[in-house]
Chain A
Amino acid sequence: MTALRLLFGLSCAAVACSPATTNTGAAFSSNWQNDGGKSIQAVYAKVSSAALAPGAAVAVGITRDGLVGIGLDGSGKWKAAGRPDSQPAIAGDVVVTTTGGSAVGLDAKSGKELWRVPVEGRVLRGAGDDGATTVLSLGAPSGGGSLLLAVTRDGSVARKIEPEAAELGVPAAQGNVAFVPWSSQYVSAIDLGSGNELGRLLLRDQVSHAINVGGKLHFGERGLVRFDDKVGGSASGNASAVKLPERELPGKPVWFTNGSQVTPAAASAREKIRLFARPADEAGKLGIAGGRYAATYFRVVMGLDAADGSLRWVRTFGQDVLGGAAASNGFAFCDAAGKVSLVDSSGGDAGQVDLGASLVGCVVHAGGFALPAGKPAGSLPEQLAKAIEVRETEMATAQRFLLRELGTRQEPLVTKALVDLASNPRTPALLLEDARQLLAARRNGAEYMLEALSKHYDFLSDVLRSPPVGPIADALAAMNEPKAAGPLAHHLNDAANTPSDIERAARALSKLATAAELGELKTFFTLYRATADEKELVNAVLSVAQALLRIGGDDGKKVVAEAAKDPLTHPDVKAGLANLTPAAKPEPKPTGDQPAPGDKPAAKPAKKG
């Protein structure tokens, strides 16, 4: 704080020399009558000829002791001392921040101080700039106390408006007119010369932000309405408007937060869980640039289709994403490590610039920046698998979401990703169960499942989790995969598998087993017919008995029949065996070496009690 005061001390003097012209709220009258868009249309006619530059393409990071900035093209890295007391704003070519009781304007490309003005205990909510004047919306740190300042490049406060009741949102400016959203439904156009309200836009949807996107103003919060020749039709739904598809996303991210509230300098979860999209003309109407928008969730960024919200790509970062911006052909994301990653609309890696410091917060403005061509990312299943691998508890919500997304995809590679996830000892329990369920429902990628089954728990080789035998057994049985019988039979006698997995493997074998598996089946039957003390194991023994009856010939029938009579056989197993009909029925005429797929077992195993 002290450093900023010292740094900007000289320009502060200018404020005292340039008394502000003050309004006390006439501009935001609650007596206004809906004019059907006439006044705002007139404002458009008045200011549309005033050129509005798209503004600087920069990222501004908030460190523990100040600001760092860099162009998205890697140019002009700068630092400024003094920690802001709310999130800074990038307005045109000016970075605006409040610190130590003053608002400070910095040149976005160099970090050089442009001006400094007192803010009467307020902190910054947001700012806009028309190339000559910066409009600041300020408020008390704890809410309320709205104040609008218009500061010219020489540090003069050209206009100061302190509304009586209205809570002001994030303003924009064009042609010396400030566009100020307020009370969540209006945007007042204030002539900065006279302080008069020239017109007012009534929106039917929530509005608390006025923003400059590539030299065109837009207003909104949940969606955006463009300030163009149709803006007068806003109240009747005829303006150029765009919204993002409504869909479930982890953490319920929003495109814009409530602009009439202060955003903290240090990014909270709210800033780390956001949507980024850029309005643009698409196919003759206002749409989303590149047809993609992005959702962040801490370390993961998801690229979504602007038409239907479907997931198109996923990027995983080493640190939390603290801020970002949408450009015309991609996105820039700023993470806690100070890296600003450029991602094209297809999710490709388009480069990175480095702010060179660890950050607690970050704001990015894309201006008119166009990303270089990105390197193609891997397949979506691979991207999803990578995102799901991140071992951080706060990621669990997003990972469950991504896992569900993964499960909806039909590529065989998805099966591999699910197998890997379900086999990894580091996979959190919550995700593990989901992965296993999805795996059981797969009907392709058998080769990945068979490969997984070839592995067993092995302490000396550091294989400390058995493969997901149960889900794989379910899936391969449903696919009638004959190659599964051998590996499943081998797993039957591996104590490292859970009873539930054994039960499912045995059930699959009752359908898939051939004479080649008789040895393993008999061993299992011998070991557990009298020792099965869990319902799952009892069911497994009964399934194996069915397999023995089906493929074991007379010997198999004898083994089962003897067990059914033996007093040492576990009572539950015995009861189940009594329901089987082994040698009593004449053996059907052989129709081939293999059982027909889908052969029904002789009796159903006991249900779980």
Chain B
Amino acid sequence: MLRQPFTFTALLSAAALTLLPAAASAAPPKGKVEAKPAKPAAKPKEKPEAKGDKGKAKVDTKKLEAELASGDSARIGAALGELIKAGDAAAGAAPAVEALLGKGLSAELVVKALEAAGALEQSSSSAAIAPYVKHRSDAVRRAAAKALVKTKGAIAVSTLRHALRSGDAQVRGVAATGLGTLGAKDALPDLFKALAHSVPEAASSIGQLCEPSDCDKFADLTGKHQFDIMSSGFDQILFRAEKDMPDDQKIKVVGRIRELGTKEAGKYLADVKGRWPEGWSKRVKQAIEAAVKATGGGASGGDE
């Protein structure tokens, strides 16, 4: 089995996993061979109501709402902590959290409230969260951006698009990742711009969202950005479901990587080969295998 060679991509994947529901990441983790076909890149998932049947303890939302309205810092903090733990099981408390955000809280509590709003995953909360993405406190605006990725909806998308323009690199990164997760295809021009402005997280999202012509445009950037940044986008393209990304496009991408002829490219292709799900396109697999062979599969003989 191949060792994990692409640190940056791995970090991105890890970041995405901490931020997002598991289904959001289409590609199998690098270095592992996934038995089942990966799901397509995440699309916005409507979550109209709370799910209390996931084995989580039942939450007394009425009681928590009362605590949130207590005006007491410690009690509010404790209630928010419980909501974070409960997650969408406590979705009924979302309006109370939104009310708190709409009224304003101390810096410590506001971060907790944003985390709670994110945990409850209610798109209705996005409007209350959105203003905090521009907060002067790093911790607050980052928590707000992360929460929006979970609460989703049109307001989340438009706010995250705007957040790509932020002076805070972490907010830009979360926004770029989040736009991919939220399936915000309209944001592709902004994501390309972000990539050109060295927002590396944009590459993966472009890979998740691109139509074939956009994917070509992305592939044209090969050589202009570090390979590990580009590979985070290639990975998304290659592991998108066939209905979402035609084989021909994937073969084109493989060809593009093969053309690089570098040891790094060879290693990456070998890694993709190892992770290629059984039952997936044989044509693409053959193209990957040929490319691995041509590039030396990352062996020391490859071109630099």
Contacts and interface: CB of A to CB of B under 8 A. Distances in A.
Tell whether A and B belong to one assembly: yes
Interface string B68-95: 0001110010000000000000000000
B131 A523 contact: yes
B124 interface: no
Nearest to B109: A568
Contacts of A494: 134
Given A531-B110, A531-B135, A460 B72 contact: no
Interface in B12-45: none
Contact of A459 (B104, B131, B136, B167): B167
Given A495-B141, A527-B131, A527-B135, A461 B165 contact: yes
Contacts of B137: 531
B106 interface: yes
B104 A568 contact: yes
Nearest to B133: A495
A584 B194 CA distance: 51
Interface string A373-389: 00000000000000000
A460 B197 contact: yes
Nearest to A565: B71
B105 interface: yes
Interface string B155-182: 0000000001111100010000000000
B172 A531 contact: no
B64 interface: no
Contacts of B109: 530, 568
Contacts of A526: 102-104, 131
Contact of A567 (B71, B103, B140, B190): B71
A211 B105 CA distance: 79
From A493, A525, A537, residue with most partner B Cβ within 10 Å: A493
Interface string B119-162: 00000000000011011110011000000000000000000000
Contacts of A457: 165, 167
Interface bracket on A: 20 to 34
A312 interface: no
A530 B134 contact: no
B62 interface: no
B282 interface: no
Nearest to B128: A526
A504 interface: no
Interface in A38-79: none
B107 A459 contact: no
A496 B135 contact: no
A567 B106 CA distance: 10
A533 interface: yes
Contacts of A154: none
B193 interface: yes
A460 B164 contact: yes
A458 B165 CA distance: 5
Contact of B107 (A460, A493, A531, A567): A531
Contacts of A566: 71, 103
A531 B140 contact: yes
A233 B278 CA distance: 111
B210 to A, nearest CB: 18
A537 B136 contact: yes
B190 to A, nearest CB: 7
Interface string A546-566: 000000000000000011001
Contacts of B107: 530-531, 533
Nearest to A497: B136
A448 B172 CA distance: 31
A50 to B, nearest CB: 74
Contacts of A562: 103
A567 B73 contact: yes
A567 B109 CA distance: 13
Given A526-B103, A531-B140, A459 B134 contact: no
Given A460-B165, A460-B194, A568-B104, A495 B134 contact: yes
A457 B136 CA distance: 14
A459 B166 contact: yes
A331 to B, nearest CB: 46
Contacts of B73: 567-568
Given A495-B135, A526-B131, A531-B140, A460 B190 contact: yes
A406 B299 CA distance: 66
A11 B172 CA distance: 77
A535 to B, nearest CB: 14
Nearest to B73: A568
Nearest to A495: B136
Contacts of A499: 136
Contacts of A531: 104-107, 110, 135-137, 140
B175 to A, nearest CB: 11
Contacts of A533: 107
A278 interface: no
Given A526-B103, A567-B72, A493 B131 contact: yes
A530 B136 contact: no
A222 interface: no
Contacts of B76: 568
B193 A460 contact: yes
A570 interface: yes
A315 interface: no
A511 B32 CA distance: 63
Contacts of A527: 104, 131-132, 135
A349 B71 CA distance: 72
Interface in A489-513: 493-496, 499
Contacts of B172: 459
Given A527-B131, A527-B135, A568 B165 contact: no
A527 B104 CA distance: 6
A459 B167 CA distance: 6
A531 B223 CA distance: 45
Interface string A562-594: 110011101000000000000000000000000
Interface string B179-206: 0000000000010011001000000000
Contacts of B164: 459-460
Given A460-B193, A525-B104, A568-B109, A496 B140 contact: no
A494 B168 CA distance: 12
Contacts of A570: 106
B19 to A, nearest CB: 20
A499 B136 CA distance: 9
A532 B136 CA distance: 9
From B105, B136, B166, B172, residue with most partner A Cβ within 10 Å: B136
A436 interface: no
Contacts of A523: 131
Nearest to A531: B107
Interface string A453-480: 0000111111000000000000000000
From B109, B131, B132, B140, residue with most partner A Cβ within 10 Å: B131
A460 B163 CA distance: 10
Interface of B: 71-73, 76, 102-107, 109-110, 131-132, 134-137, 140-141, 164-168, 172, 190, 193-194, 197
Interface of A: 457-462, 493-496, 499, 523, 525-531, 533, 537, 562-563, 566-568, 570
Nearest 3 CB-CB pairs, A to B? A526-B104, A531-B107, A495-B136
5 contacts: A460-B190, A494-B134, A495-B166, A562-B103, A563-B104
Given A525-B104, A526-B103, 16 more contacts: A459-B165, A459-B197, A460-B164, A460-B197, A493-B131, A494-B134, A496-B167, A528-B104, A528-B136, A530-B106, A567-B71, A568-B71, A568-B73, A568-B106, A568-B109, A570-B106
